[in-house]
Structure 1
């Protein structure tokens, strides 16, 4: 069955949705959208590093994404203006990544694959990485769920309860880097942050508790992945952007329904 590229593409989309959606809830709650942008844009530097050192793409992207996330976290703790900082880092990382790729000798690099993803070219090895990464992300979030939630909603309460908000921030940083590394081939560096944020934002009007918001985010993310794949076949459109476009439609729909109920 896995010899069918459509099945592999569908499984890859589901794996990325499973990893990105619950993490995206914390990105939305903590207002870390630009944080996700900076980390995902740094993925191109990771691609250049991997190609230059002949490493697996996953390894290069994970190293650079994790480094970027740690740098952003450290600077934010020093009370540097986070919106300006993240804007600078996001665009600088993207530019340096593109420039670095152009310097690779003797390699014809298809930038569109890394910018917008190529889900239809997912291999068995890619599937193993995507689902392995998704299991790690879901496992970390499930293990630290209550501590992460408390540190997100009320850091002072987390301190009083004996928690360590900085440690929970590091857990989120690690999971974000893993999601970026596993998602780059599916939706590309430019659209990873969108797949993190949009399903979670679309799930917010449907849920009364944080747990249900995460569940709805997974459902909507999976629906966007499978539906966007189907739409790309029907209308011959790029698959990654089709997935994100359908997620945006879900967001508009749930937001409109919530407004009508009010």
Structure 2
């Protein structure tokens, strides 16, 4: 069954959707969209370092994404606005990554595959990494769900409940780095943030509880992966962008439906 490239691509898309859904909900609640984008951009540098050092692309991308997220966390509030800091670090990391790739002699690299994803080329090993990473992310979020939710709602309430908001943010940062590392092969660096944000944003009008939003986001992400892959196969379009386009159409649909119900 896994010899069929479309089956492997579908399973890879479902794995990324499972990882991105609960994490994306927290990204939306905490207004961390640009933070996720910056972490994803840094992954290109991780890819270049991985190829130069001949180590796993997953390990290199995760290490650099985690270093980027920790750097932003440590430097925030030290004289620079958060959006300025994220903009500088995100574009600098992407530029250094692209320059580093150009120095890799004797190594063939399809840069477009890392920028926009190459889900149709996912192997069995890639599937194991994607689903393993997704399991870790879901496990982390599930383990710290109450603490993450409390610190997201109100940091003072979190302290009063004996919860350290900085520790919870660190867990989110780790989960984000893992998600970026597993998603880079599926949707690419430039579209990872979209898969984090769009399904969660689309689920928001349909949900009454935080748990409901995370589950609905997972369903929307999974549907986007399956429908987007089918559309890419039928219309001969890029797979990663097609998945994001479907997610964007679902977001537009839920937004319109929410507006109509509000007016009615």
**TM-score with structure 2 setting the length:** 0.98
Structure 1 residue 96: Cα displacement: 1.0
2:105 is matched with: 105
Match runs of 1:156-167 below 5 Å: 156-167=156-167
Question: 1:127: Cα distance to partner?
Answer: 0.3
Residue matched to 1:182: 182
Match of 1:209 in 2: 209
| 1:35 is the counterpart of 2:35 | yes
Shift of 1:78: 3.6
Quick one: distance in 1 between partners of 2:130 and 2:192?
14
Q: Within the alignment, does 1:125 sit opposite 2:106 as a pair? A: no
Counterpart for residue 93 of structure 1: 93
When residues 79 and 28 of structure 1 are mapped into structure 2, their CA distance, relative to the original with a 3 A threshold, is: farther
Structure 1 residues 252, 4: CA separation in 2 closer, same or farther (over 3 Å shift)?
same
Tell me the residue number matched to 2:83: 83
Distance 2:195 2:79 in 1: 28
User: In the TM superposition, what is the alpha-carbon distance from 1:76 to its structure 2 partner?
Assistant: 1.7
2-structure distance, mates of 1:23, 1:79:
28
What is the DSSP-based 3-state SS (H/G/I as helix, E as strand, rest coil) of the residue aligned with 2:80? Answer: coil
- The equivalent of 1:69 in structure 2 is 69
Runs of 4+ in 1 over 2 A off after TM superposition: 77-80
The alignment covers a number of residue pairs equal to: 262
Q: Which residue of structure 1 aligns with residue 26 of structure 2? A: 26
Task: State the Cα distance separating 1:109 from its structure 2 match.
Answer: 1.6
Q: 1:77 Cα deviation (Å)?
A: 4.7
Deviation at 1:165, TM superposition (A): 0.2
Partner deviation per Cα, 1:56-97 (whole Å, 9 max, x = no partner): 110110110010010011112546310111111111111111
Q: Which runs of 5+ in 1 are unaligned?
A: none
| Superposed CA offset, 1:194-215 (max 9, x none) | 0000000000000011110001
Deviations 1:127-164 (A, max 9, x none): 00000000000000000001000000101000011110
Q: Is residue 3 from structure 1 mapped to residue 3 from structure 2 by the alignment?
A: yes
Distance 1:95 1:57 in 2: 18
Task: Determine whether 1:227 maps to 2:264.
Answer: no
Instruction: Describe the SS at the equivalent of 1:42.
Output: helix
Does residue 44 of structure 1 match 2:44? yes
Task: Give secondary structure in 1 for the equivalent of 2:3.
Answer: coil
Distance 1:157 1:31, change over 3 A: same
Gaps of 5+ in 2: none
Could you tell which deviates more after superposition, 45-54 or 69-78? Answer: 69-78
- 1:233-259 CA distances to partner (integer Å, 9 max, x unpaired)? 010000000000100001100000000
